[in-house]
Structures are given as structure tokens and as C-alpha cells.
Chain A
């Protein structure tokens, strides 16, 4: 097992950990705007680690160039999609989950929890 394989394994493991953490976040966070934060982590950083690890697997071939193209494309489209989603939700009248003075919280439908 040479140094490239070990480096590739480390990058893939980091990407896998970030992906699962983001998925747990998207499942457990209380409202839409906080969930978007969890999804943003996986969209760029997890993708970057995975693409980097796979590029080390493929070596200096055309496949690495294709992987780099996929990464560049995702680097531009994922923040655009997230921004458009936040804008659509804001225009749609979705209210953020906020804390109240007495220690409680108000959810999206205005209920005090």
C-alpha cells in the first residue's frame, strides 16, 4: 500500500464522515433554515474530499480531468441552488425558528414550543 493509496483512503474517509454528519444534521435540525446549513456542509466540502480521493485513485488520466470538471461544476451550482432555495423560502413566507425571551422557541407555524 503506497502513499497515494493511504492519502486517498484518508480523503475518502473524511468525505464519508462529513456526508453522514450532514445527513444527520438535515434529519435532526429543528427548521428549514438550520437544515440548509447542514446541507451546505455536505454540498461542497464532502464533494471536494470525495473528488480528491477519487482523483488520487485514478491517477494522471482523462478520468481525473472529468472528476475535476464535476467538482468545478458543483462548486458553482451548489451555492446557487442553496441561495435560490433560501430566496424561494423567504418569498414564500417561511419564518425562521427563533428563540423567545422566556427561554422557549417559536417554530415555523408560530407555535411556541
Chain B
């Protein structure tokens, strides 16, 4: 009973967060809302595990939390620097000194 109510409250929260993600005027609003959506998804999986009475589902919640964090950081790095960065595709120029404003 209380677990079902908690799941419903999380679903309401997720609905409001996804509304902001769709409305959001800037890209940062969307990322913030999607981050909150992912956090609430982890909680929803944990509550479903309690409803079903199976502790195994909590592994899924743990993995989802990790994937959510990595995804948010990756998307934000992409929008901050314009690329995700790569190792070794541009060899360093010998004797190159950084210019002003570089």
C-alpha cells in the first residue's frame, strides 16, 4: 500500500521532470531534468524491488545509477568542449608553443 503510493509519487515526479526536459529553453535545463529523471528511475526500480520482494532487482538499480552518471558527464563534456576528446589522433607538434588566445 505505502510502497504503491511511493511508486505513484515517483511517477508524478518523473512526469514533471520530463515535462521540463521537453519544455526547457536551454540545453542545460534539459540535461538537469534528464539527470533528475534518471535519479528517480533508480528509486523507482528500488521501490519495485520492494513491491516484488526480490532483492535481485537492486543490482539493476545500481547499474542504472552508474550509467546515468556516466551519460550525464559525457553529454555535458560534449556540450562544454564540443567534443568528447580522443587520445592520440593528433600527434603533438615538436617545438610547438601555445600562442596567445589558444
Contacts and interface: CB of A to CB of B under 8 A. Distances in A.
Interface of A: 8-9, 12-13, 15-17, 19-20, 22-24, 26-27, 32, 35-36, 39, 42-43, 46-47, 50-51, 53-54, 57-58, 61-63, 66-67, 69-70, 73-74, 77-78, 80-82, 84-85, 87-89, 91-92, 94, 108
Main secondary structure of the interface of A (DSSP, over half): helix
B37 to A, nearest CB: 10
Contacts of B16: 20, 23-24, 26-27
A108 B20 contact: no
Interface string B39-79: 11011001101100001001101100110010011001101
Interface residues of B, number: 45
Contact of A20 (B9, B39, B61): B9
A77 B20 contact: no
A50 B6 contact: yes
Contact of B6 (A24, A35, A53, A108): A53
A50 B2 CA distance: 12
A70 B55 contact: no
Given A12-B5, A19-B40, A54-B50, 13 more contacts: A12-B2, A13-B6, A16-B5, A16-B9, A36-B32, A53-B6, A67-B46, A70-B58, A77-B69, A80-B73, A81-B72, A92-B28, A92-B79
A58 B54 CA distance: 9
A84 B73 contact: yes
Interface in B1-39: 2-3, 5-6, 9-10, 12-17, 19-20, 25-26, 28-29, 31-33, 35-36, 39
